[in-house]
Amino acid sequence: MTAAEQNLARSAAASGVLGKIPVTVLTGYLGAGKTTLLNRILTEDHGLRIAVIVNEFGEIGIDNQLVVGADEEIFEMNNGCICCTVRGDLIRIVGELMQRRDEFDYLLIETTGLADPGPVIQSFFVDDTMARRTALDAVVTVVDSKHVLAHWDSEEVQEQLAFADVILLNKTDLVSTAELAALEQRVRGLNALARIHCTLQCVIPLQAVMDIKAFDLRNALAIEPEFLSEQAHEHDDSVYSVALSEPGTLDSTLFNRWLYQLVQDQGTNIFRLKGILDLDGEARRFVVQGVHMTLDGRPGKPWRADEARFNQLVFIGRDLDESRLRDGFRSCLVPA
């Protein structure tokens, strides 16, 4: 542990001892790298005991299986957006966590990529328990440097950037130096106060994103004067998820052929895909992720001998044909 990490641990732990648990909210559009950043934080030698809340978009939870140590330290919500009615779930979960606050020093909340962080911030001020027991440290927004401009005009992207205290322009290897400079200038035009860092795989010192005491309520009110009110939150109803779940084993050749053809045909409408698969009966589950036309797959955690294997695949996007996706997915299964 470096001297900076030791200072971070002492400062964050002291905050908890003094009565308020520091909280970092991780936000950013679909596929930007929030879970990558979360895993980096959890695996660093910082000496902190961290509780994690992950929000999912759709009825099948994939992200909780991608988080390091998820079996012990993750709390999951599947209502689609970490705001509106789900805010009640967030308040409830934080309230339950406070019953065992001696077990952790810090709280991380990873929102779904389709969340407006405004209502999340609101929760820390409208609920008595959260206002009394937690301290919102910073809103950290992760940006997919290659694909963010395709969604720039969406309300979610605009709000995620506007409310950010720290912005990570991630996936810098996928854009040119000139494109990155232009993007940074554009982001700065939207948020002149945030600290901006350019990252690859969200590699950044923890002291740049945690226990930095950067959140200022006055700035949030300047962005959205009514954000502490109970006004309804608007969603883009044209974006939705399709969740597929099938038992059995997938044939890797058939699956790869189907998925790559699907991405070629519908990649512009597939904002995000992620899945946990039993591929060829291998000892480790296979993790597949994608953003538009870009796909990535790699071995994940080993299957336990006592668990039933499964295949789960979630698509988020527009104009998705659920029956066609389900039929294509099933066609990749090895015959029983």
Q: What is the 3-state secondary structure (H, E, C) of 23-52?
A: EEEEECCCCCCHHHHHHHHHHCCCCCCEEE
Alpha-carbon gap, residue 175 to 183, rounded angstroms: 10
What are the residue ranges spanned by the domains of the chain? 3-223, 240-330
Average pLDDT of the chain is 79
Alpha-carbon gap, residue 37 to 203, rounded angstroms: 8
Q: Is the pLDDT of residue 21 over 80?
A: yes
Residue 149, both tokens: 């401009």
What angle, rounded to 10 degrees, do the helices at 86-97 and 117-126 form? 50
Overall CATH class of domain 3-223: alpha beta
Domain 240-330: give its CATH code.
3.30.1220.10
pTM for this model (two decimals):
0.66
Q: What is the pLDDT of residue 52?
A: 84
Percent of the chain predicted with pLDDT > 70 = 78
- Which pLDDT tens digit goes with each residue over 140-182? 999 999 999 998 988 888 888 888 899 999 999 999 999 999 9
Q: Could you tell me which residues are beta bridge partners of residue 246?
A: 311
Q: Is 192 exposed, middle or buried (0-12, 13-18, 19+ CB in 10 A)?
A: exposed
User: Does the fold of domain 240-330 match that of domain 3-223?
Assistant: no
- Which pLDDT tens digit goes with each residue over 315-333? 877 888 999 999 999 999 9
Q: Which residue has the tokens 């440097």?
A: 145
Q: Is the pLDDT of residue 73 over 80?
A: no
Classify residue 8 by its DSSP letter: H
Pairing of strands 50-55, 134-144: unpaired
Residue 325, both tokens: 């996706």
Pick from 96, 97, 54, 94: which is nearest to 78 by CA?
Answer: 54
